[in-house]
Structure 1
């Protein structure tokens, strides 16, 4: 087992291969794949009727485009030199993939909350994705480039200082590290606290019981069924008992014994296909309505298709051939606490899926309406959460030594973020041109 000083030496040695200042450069290669072509390749295995919805959502703004273009940025990051300092990457660490959710103890936590693209890889890829999203959001919100630079700098600085703090802690202390929602008030300016408190109050109301009122209607037999809202929410035709039994059996087997016992207390009521997010639109996603003690005791689970990570083409193969298990294990490794119903299964046509609660006091920030000061505070908070997540799976001592005590890395990431925001603006314009030319079809406003 290596000593802390040997681990730190490994981090400092990485500076020779990839100087910290080198992260500030972004120049697109002449071999860079066309972004629309990358998106079209992804669309090939998606539900054809939903692909225009995805393009319509991506065409809404530069930030929405960035959200849906994880595959584009993955190819760009893979074309740069990397440190070789590996962590369990989120894989899509933009601002809206952070948020609050309830721990099993019903405490509101702030953390990374999306793991569709998770895979082991160089830590800086996540930090660059985060910094770029900060710059894109800031510019879209009307901030001048110097303020966008400062916001991205805040995210990188927070990541670096948090990682250096965690490098000095013991293993259990790092594992138990978390960001309670109660801490958030102290992290934002007084004039923004009312807005924060409203966000947290809204998250606490987002439960299966609230979703029951919003997503279902009486079925005429004293129970509830999912209300259709095509194409965003469409009930699944009646499932035969054999198919339904296999689906639940496969999912149930991925849970721990005590959670199987809890799941067994619920009975199936209804299922529907649901459209979610931006980047995920077109993949198969469903919601399942379960009933516990009676119709006032619902559990609504989300079933999301797990396809290969956008990073998989550029990194060593995943340890988990089942893509649903890859997502679940990456999430459990990275988050401070995870959904008790998080599990996976293989569905029809041998497609991979993972399960989680649809709403468990989940809440995200309204990034596109943030003031410059609030965005900077939020970027700082996301940088802290990302460092905490990386410290659980990677060598935090080596990463902290690589980052160092100066702001060289921070400034490089902020420079990169502005350069990549310009690239994203060009790519966004390219999508708009492809839509206008009839090369692809978009369904805006859906």
Structure 2
């Protein structure tokens, strides 16, 4: 649906989301829309397809080198996790919308989210602009070095250090607590968890059989036999997309079970608007996994594509939503948020540099020159972020009204 056909009215916004969300789990859509009502930032998180329909052709974002994009770069898509080497990292951690496109697309979307987050803290427009400038300067400076680095746990501080510490200190028993019980044999407590839902027996059996078949086909299975499966309720943008939590035996006797995440991979929201041809992928899951490998410093454990009933899923070790930034539950003040902005700019630049040269992406020299440039692109993307924020705010107001009037169903959870 082109942007010109989407008015910022309750009816038009409701029609857009009803069309886009067709095929998702109906029972989860009221939860999705409820979460999106929280504020304009939550709405922004949950409406990437609308964002690209609005701004996929924005001239301010058309320049600069082409590279691999997160596709959904926003301030709450950073988080801590345990990598496949068992060490803890803080990085971009959502690649469902990853595509090959202008780097300015990622930068522009991230800057819009910075302005929305600053507004969430009650900061005036001048401060929102300053925060956007701070992040953009950090991004350009990191890109200008031409070298990708890691955000080290030893030198991190503030909210990033807090999230890294949480993952580092968490033990497997804490991860299982509230999700699973060993009474009568290990199983999920889906009826008592807000993050899990029980599945119809036929669906649960199909998931268990498919994943068990995959596990047995591995030369060295990464886990023992599957014990249980439940529907997973997580996030905002992808909430309602078929997603499962899996409980599997450890490969080692006497060890606690492992938690896995299995999520359907849908076509990327930016793809219809990309000005460059996209590589051919066997499945959408293969795209997500490959792009994550390009962009992320170290990938989470078990990351790989998997087919279930002929549909593409991404399998990975389960990462709790508590390990992602979430400003609706943010415990620090606006100063803590401001202090972390350079980290976010650096992380996005390092991701782009890591992916340089892969399958159609510009090489590191082009990215370095882009970062070193002091031309009009920086002013253009900053101006775009301010204008887009106003459009997002108007869309959010119309969406919230559609929910209040009952055009879109909502339910707290």
Scaled by the length of structure 2, the TM-score of the pair is: 0.87
* Cross-structure match for 1:209: 173
> Pick from 145, 152, 155: which aligns with 1:165?
145
* Cross-structure match for 1:383: 345
* Cross-structure match for 2:384: 416
Unaligned stretches of 5+ residues in structure 2: 357-362
Matches within 5 A, 1:136-175: 136-166=116-146, 169=147, 174=148
Structure of larger gyration radius: 1
C-alpha distance after superposition, 1:285-338 (max 9, x if no partner): 100001123464211000011111111212234421411111111101111111
Q: Deviation at 1:84?
A: 6.0
* Cross-structure match for 2:359: none
CA distance in 2, matches of 1:415, 1:38: 27
Question: Is structure 2 residue 202 aligned with structure 1 residue 246?
Answer: no
* Cross-structure match for 2:244: 286
> Pick from 133, 144, 163: which aligns with 1:199?
163
> Pick from 352, 368, 375: which aligns with 1:400?
368
**Aligned in 2, Cα 1:317/1:133: closer, same or farther, shift over 3 Å?**
same
CA distance in 2, matches of 1:59, 1:371: 22
CA distance in 2, matches of 1:184, 1:230: 32
* Cross-structure match for 1:15: none
Out of 410-419 and 91-100, give the one that drifted further.
Answer: 410-419
**Aligned in 2, Cα 1:352/1:83: closer, same or farther, shift over 3 Å?**
same
* Cross-structure match for 1:9: none
C-alpha distance after superposition, 1:387-436 (max 9, x if no partner): 11111223232233234343754443333222222111111101012123
> Pick from 301, 316, 334: which aligns with 1:340?
301
The alignment of Structure 1 onto Structure 2 pairs a total of residues equal to: 394
C-alpha distance after superposition, 1:27-53 (max 9, x if no partner): x97555654433222211111111111
**Aligned in 2, Cα 1:31/1:279: closer, same or farther, shift over 3 Å?**
same
Does the residue aligned with 1:441 lie in a helix, a strand or coil? coil
C-alpha distance after superposition, 1:246-301 (max 9, x if no partner): 33334676xxx6xx5142x5121110001110011110010000112346421100
Q: Deviation at 1:383?
A: 1.0
Unaligned stretches of 5+ residues in structure 1: 1-27, 186-192
Alpha-carbon contact 1:335-1:389 (below 8 Å) kept: yes
Alpha-carbon contact 1:91-1:118 (below 8 Å) kept: yes
| More helix per residue | 1
Does the residue aligned with 1:183 lie in a helix, a strand or coil? coil
**Aligned in 2, Cα 1:361/1:76: closer, same or farther, shift over 3 Å?**
closer
**Aligned in 2, Cα 1:84/1:320: closer, same or farther, shift over 3 Å?**
farther
CA distance in 1, matches of 2:273, 2:215: 30
CA distance in 2, matches of 1:206, 1:228: 24
Question: Is structure 2 residue 109 aligned with structure 1 residue 129?
Answer: yes
CA distance in 1, matches of 2:160, 2:383: 29
Q: Deviation at 1:178?
A: 1.8
Does the residue aligned with 2:191 lie in a helix, a strand or coil? coil
Alpha-carbon contact 2:197-2:233 (below 8 Å) kept: no
CA distance in 1, matches of 2:100, 2:295: 11
Question: Is structure 2 residue 331 aligned with structure 1 residue 372?
Answer: no
Alpha-carbon contact 1:153-1:413 (below 8 Å) kept: no
Out of 231-240 and 335-344, give the one that drifted further.
Answer: 231-240
* Cross-structure match for 1:268: 226
Report the aligned-residue RMSD: 2.7
Alpha-carbon contact 1:287-1:303 (below 8 Å) kept: yes
> Pick from 291, 297, 319: which aligns with 2:256?
297
> Pick from 404, 408, 413: which aligns with 1:440?
408
Q: Deviation at 1:244?
A: 3.5
CA distance in 2, matches of 1:135, 1:49: 32
**Aligned in 2, Cα 1:336/1:200: closer, same or farther, shift over 3 Å?**
closer
**Aligned in 2, Cα 1:32/1:80: closer, same or farther, shift over 3 Å?**
farther
> Pick from 308, 311, 321: which aligns with 1:351?
311
CA distance in 2, matches of 1:403, 1:359: 32
* Cross-structure match for 1:309: 268
Alpha-carbon contact 2:84-2:302 (below 8 Å) kept: no
CA distance in 1, matches of 2:312, 2:289: 12
**Aligned in 2, Cα 1:131/1:361: closer, same or farther, shift over 3 Å?**
closer
**Aligned in 2, Cα 1:251/1:45: closer, same or farther, shift over 3 Å?**
farther
Alpha-carbon contact 1:208-1:358 (below 8 Å) kept: no
**Aligned in 2, Cα 1:31/1:84: closer, same or farther, shift over 3 Å?**
farther
* Cross-structure match for 2:154: 182
Does the residue aligned with 1:182 lie in a helix, a strand or coil? coil
Alpha-carbon contact 2:207-2:229 (below 8 Å) kept: no
